[in-house]
Amino acid sequence: MIEIRNDWKIEEVKELLGQPFNDLLFQAQMIHRKVFNPNEVQVSTLLSIKTGACPEDCSYCSQSARNDTSTEPERLLPLDDVLKSAKEAKETGATRFCMGAAWRNPTDKSLDRVIEMIEAVRDMGMETCVTLGMLTEKQTQRLKEAGLDYYNHNLDTSPEFYGEVITTRSYQDRLDTLKYVRNAGINVCSGGILGMGETNHDRARLLQQLANLPKHPESVPINDLVQVEGTPLEGTEKLDPFDFIRMVAAARIMMPLSYVRLSAGRTEMNDEMQALCFFAGANSMFYGERLLTTDNPDENHDQKLFSRLGIDMEKAKPQQGFTVKESDKTESCGCSA
C-alpha cells in the first residue's frame, strides 16, 4: 500500500531525515520499487531560450542583472534555433525538452512566441516543459491550450530562509503561480536548491511545503547549488553529499508517485554519489552538456554511467497494480499517476 499524505508535520520530516542513512535509503528504495521500475530514469534536456538581464535578485543566479557574472544576455531565440536544439536532444535520447527564460514573468506578446515553440516541439513527438517565471491565471490557460505538458517553478527553499535568497518576489507569489498551473491542468514541476547556506530545518520545511501542496508536484527537482562566480552565494560552504542524498530519499518517501529529479550540480558529483541518488529514488535528470547557463555532464558520460548501472533511460513509467491510499479514499493504480 502506497500512502499519499499532504499533512506532514515538521517534526516528522526532521525525524525522517535524521534516521541512520541506511535505514532512510532502504525505506526510500522499498517505496521506489513498488511504484517505479528502479532501473529506469527519465531524461529531459534544457535550453535557455532567453538568457540573462533578469530583473529579479535571486542570489544564486548567473542571469540576474544585479549579479556581476560572465553570462552574456541574449534575446528570445528564434524558433528555428529552438527546434534545432530539440531535434538534437531527441536524437541523443531525451524524451522531454525544457525551455527556460530569464524573466520575472512573460509578457503576453512573448508568451505568443513561446507557445509557437511549445507547439512545434510537441509536433516533433517530445514532451514539453517551460519555466518562464510568474504567470497569471489566463497565461496558464493559454499554455494548457497549447498542449504544454509541464511547468517548472521552484519553491527553492523554506519560507523562512527564502527572504535571505530573493527579495524581489515572495514565497506566496510562487505558491500562487503553482496554484494557477495546477488548476489549468498542467503537470507541476517544483522543487528547490540545496547548499545555499540553509539549515537542516530549512531543508525539512522545503519538503514539507512541497508534500503538503493540495496535490504533489508530478516532478520534484532537487538542485545542488551551482556556485557561479559573481553571485552573492559564491563561496557558500558546500553541503555534505550525504545530506543531499538524504533529501532525495525523503522526497521519494514523502511524494511516492512523483518523479524525483536529480538536477543541477551533477558536474560536482562523482558517479558513486549519483548512483546513490538513484538508489535513494531519483528517477529523472537533466541530460545534455548544458543546463541553462552552466555545464552538465556530457551525454557520453551519462550513457556510460547508465550502462554501468544497468539503467534504461527511455521508459521510467510507473508500474502497474500497486494500491494507493489517498487520505480518505483507497484506489488501485492502473496506472496513469
Task: State yes or no: is 189 an active-site residue.
Answer: yes
Choosing from 96, 113, 129, 252, which is the catalytic residue?
A: 129
Which residue lies nearer to ligand SAM by CB, 195 or 281? 195
Alpha helices (H) along the chain: 10-18, 21-35, 79-91, 108-123, 137-145, 159-165, 171-184, 200-211, 241-254, 271-279, 299-309
Task: State yes or no: is 58 an active-site residue.
Answer: yes
The answer to whether residues 261 and 282 touch, using CB atoms and an 8 Å cutoff, is yes
- Residue of 106, 133, 217, 318 that binds ligand SF4 (CB under 6 A): 133
Task: State yes or no: is 333 an active-site residue.
Answer: no
- What is the per-residue DSSP string for 30-55? HHHHHHB-TTB-EEEEEEEEEBS-BS
Task: State yes or no: is 54 an active-site residue.
Answer: yes
Answer with the entry of ligand SAM, ligand DTB, ligand SF4, none that 181 interacts with (C-beta below 5 to 8 A by kind): none
Give the pairing of strands 187-189 and 150-152. parallel
Which residue lies nearer to ligand SF4 by CB, 46 or 249? 46
Interface ranges with ligand SAM (CB under 6 A): 60-61, 100, 102-103, 131, 133, 153-154, 156, 193, 223, 225-226, 228, 264, 292
Q: Which residue type is seen at 305? A: L
Q: Is 180 helix (H, G, I), strand (E, B) or coil?
A: helix
Dist. CA 289–CA 50, nearest whole Å: 18
- What is the per-residue DSSP string for 236-285? PPPPPHHHHHHHHHHHHHHSTTSEEEE-TTGGGS-HHHHHHHHHTTEEEE
Answer with the entry of ligand DTB, ligand SF4, ligand SAM, none that 255 interacts with (C-beta below 5 to 8 A by kind): none
How far from chain centre, in Å, is Cα 206? 13
Which residue lies nearer to ligand SAM by CB, 27 or 62? 62
Q: Which residue type is seen at 18? A: G
- Residue of 24, 35, 178, 226 that binds ligand DTB (CB under 6 A): 226
Task: State yes or no: is 129 an active-site residue.
Answer: yes
Choosing from 96, 169, 189, 246, which is the catalytic residue?
A: 189
| CA-derived radius of gyration, the chain | 19
By CB under 6 A, residue 193 contacts ligand SF4: no
- Residue of 62, 105, 139, 231 that binds ligand DTB (CB under 6 A): 62
> What residues numbered 29-68 form the site for ligand SF4, per CB under 6 A?
54, 56, 58, 61, 63-64
- Residue of 8, 85, 100, 284 that binds ligand DTB (CB under 6 A): 100
How far from chain centre, in Å, is Cα 275? 18
Q: Provide, rounded to whole angstroms, the least separation between the CB of residue 50 and ligand SF4.
A: 9
Task: State yes or no: is 66 an active-site residue.
Answer: no
Q: What is the DSSP letter of 137?
A: H
Choosing from 169, 203, 261, 266, which is the catalytic residue?
A: 261
Task: State yes or no: is 335 an active-site residue.
Answer: no
Active site residues: 54, 58, 61, 98, 129, 189, 261
Residues that bind ligand DTB (CB under 6 A): 46, 62, 100, 131, 152, 154, 191, 221, 223, 226, 263-264, 291-294
